[in-house]
């Protein structure tokens, strides 16, 4: 797995085939060992969260392994990609939309932070692929921050200039999904340690539960 990204990429760019295949391989990886660099942060609600600390930046990368019962993988991928629907079920979304600059699609995302912290916003590209790995269907979504001159920083909002996420979803052999997620961002500014710990230990499992509920509601509305 490559390390966390540095600054945002200059302009939209496609993801490589190897990046998609690397995400698929994570579904088959054994749990990171206790003696390795990845440390188990929490195991709760059927979700295991690991983190890797980087001395230079003082930031963490995260790997999340879990499952979504009664949510087929294609449905999960559809819900994850539907920006308009996310505004209905994700309480932390302030603004979320797709914009087109010079023929390239990018996503603008503003996230609500608790008072008195400033909100954060992201400008990123993403790509979804349905992979065939030895007869297994795996849905993969990759996302990474980009620098787009037409989407400048806004007063009072801190731009997250280093963001990267990978999601791989496949059937759990029943009616649900097996999920892997990699996540890294540099939120900038001074973030209290309690908020970092809450986001990792409680926010991520709650987010997966919210996706699970959203999948059930999504299937009813289509």
pLDDT tens per residue across span 62-77:
999 999 999 999 999 9
Side-chain-side CA neighbours of 153 within 13 Å: the count stands at 10
Pair 83, 214: CB distance under 8 Å:
no
Average pLDDT taken over every residue of the chain:
89
pLDDT digits (tens, 9 = 90+) for 93-146: 999 999 998 888 999 999 999 888 899 999 999 999 999 999 999 999 999 999
In a domain, 17, yes or no: no
Number of domain units in the chain: 1
In a domain, 2, yes or no: no
Tell me the CATH number at 58: 3.30.530.20
In a domain, 98, yes or no: yes
**What pLDDT, on the 0 to 100 scale, is given for residue 198?**
82
In a domain, 19, yes or no: no
In a domain, 3, yes or no: no
**What pLDDT, on the 0 to 100 scale, is given for residue 54?**
80
Could you tell me the two tokens for 169?
């979803």
The pLDDT-based confidence of 194 (bands split at 50, 70, 90) is confident
In a domain, 77, yes or no: yes
**What pLDDT, on the 0 to 100 scale, is given for residue 10?**
56
Domain housing 144: 41-219
In a domain, 165, yes or no: yes
In a domain, 169, yes or no: yes
What is the phi/psi pair of residue 78, to 5°?
-60, -45
Could you tell me the two tokens for 137?
């269907």
pLDDT digits (tens, 9 = 90+) for 143-159: 999 999 999 999 999 99
pLDDT of 1 higher than 50: no
């Amino acid at each position: 797995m490559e390390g966390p990204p540095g600054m945002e990429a200059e302009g939209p760019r496609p993801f490589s085939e190897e990046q998609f295949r690397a995400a698929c391989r994570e579904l088959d990886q054994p749990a990171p060992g206790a003696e390795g660099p990845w440390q188990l942060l929490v195991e709760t609600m059927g979700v295991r969260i690991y983190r890797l600390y980087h001395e230079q930046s003082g930031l963490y990368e995260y790997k999340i392994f879990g499952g979504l019962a009664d949510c087929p993988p294609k449905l999960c991928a559809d819900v994850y990609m539907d920006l308009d629907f996310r505004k209905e079920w994700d309480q932390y979304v302030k603004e979320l939309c797709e914009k087109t600059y010079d023929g390239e699609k990018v996503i603008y995302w503003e996230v609500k932070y608790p008072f008195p912290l400033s909100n954060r916003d992201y400008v990123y590209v993403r790509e979804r692929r349905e992979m065939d790995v030895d007869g297994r269907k795996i849905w993969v979504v990759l996302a990474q921050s980009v620098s787009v001159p037409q989407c400048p920083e806004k007063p009072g909002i801190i731009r997250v200039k280093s963001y990267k996420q990978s999601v791989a979803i496949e059937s759990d052999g029943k009616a649900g999904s097996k999920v892997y997620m990699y996540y890294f961002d540099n939120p900038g500014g001074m973030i209290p340690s309690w908020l970092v710990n809450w986001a990792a230990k409680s926010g991520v499992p709650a987010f997966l539960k919210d996706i699970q509920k959203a999948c059930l509601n999504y299937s009813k509305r289509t």
